[in-house]
């Protein structure tokens, strides 16, 4: 399939986000997509994900954007603000540009929960984000074909 994926990944909590990225890219390759079809952009933290996704969407070069990050609760309310900003920002980009923006940002209480979600007992959320991206890519294409 001729499709272009953009993956925006946060460098904060890098031991987790590297695994998310590895899982997503690996799944896309397993499904037949080449490295030439996948653009990876790294941002400092989760809050920077929505702006980067918006700039990618505005470029009209990508069929789907996968957003990956890990927000792990700390001792302050910062966690709540970050989670809200990132989730709302990604949704806003998706609705503004009619483009699948996949929310693969972990929001966990602790590092153990995060590790469980990158190949542990809770599966692999990077792989799931890629699966969701492919599903939405096909769905959007199908709907576009129906409208023609």
pLDDT digits (tens, 9 = 90+) for 24-64: 999 999 999 999 999 999 999 999 999 999 999 999 999 99
Q: Can you tell me the distance from the alpha carbon of 6 to that of 56, in angstroms, rounded to the nearest whole number?
A: 8
Surface-to-core class of residue 21, CB atoms within 10 Å of its CB (0-12 exposed, 13-18 middle, 19+ buried): buried
Tell me which of 29, 78, 124, 135 is the catalytic residue.
78
CA distance 1 to 125: 23
pLDDT band at residue 146 using 50, 70 and 90 as cut-offs:
confident
To the query of whether residue 78 is one of the catalytic residues in this protein, the response is yes
Name the E strands within 14-145: 38-43, 64-72, 101-108, 118-120, 123-124
- What percent of the chain clears pLDDT 70, i.e. is strictly above it? 99
pLDDT band at 1 (very low <50, low <70, confident <90, very high): confident
Q: Does the structure show a pLDDT above 90 at 148?
A: no
Closest CA to 6 of 31, 41, 36: 41
Query: Dihedral of the CA atoms 136, 140, 143, 148 (nearest 10)?
Result: -160
Q: Encode pLDDT of 96-110 as tens digits.
A: 999 999 999 999 999
Separation CA 81–CA 76 (nearest Å): 10
């Amino acid at each position: 399939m001729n499709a272009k994926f953009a993956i925006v990944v946060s460098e904060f909590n890098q031991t987790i986000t590297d695994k998310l990225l590895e899982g997503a890219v690996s799944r896309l390759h397993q499904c037949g997509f080449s490295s030439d079809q996948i653009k990876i952009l790294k941002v400092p933290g989760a809050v920077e994900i929505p702006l980067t996704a918006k700039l990618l969407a505005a470029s009209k070069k990508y069929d789907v954007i996968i957003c990956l990050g890990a927000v792990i609760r700390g001792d302050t309310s910062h966690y709540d603000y970050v989670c809200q900003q990132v989730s709302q920002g990604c949704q806003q980009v998706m609705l503004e540009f009619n483009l699948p923006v996949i929310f693969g940002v972990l929001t966990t209480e602790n590092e153990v929960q995060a590790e469980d979600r990158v190949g542990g007992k809770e599966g692999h959320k990077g792989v799931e984000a890629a699966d969701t991206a492919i599903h939405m890519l096909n769905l959007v294409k199908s709907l576009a074909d129906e409208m023609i």
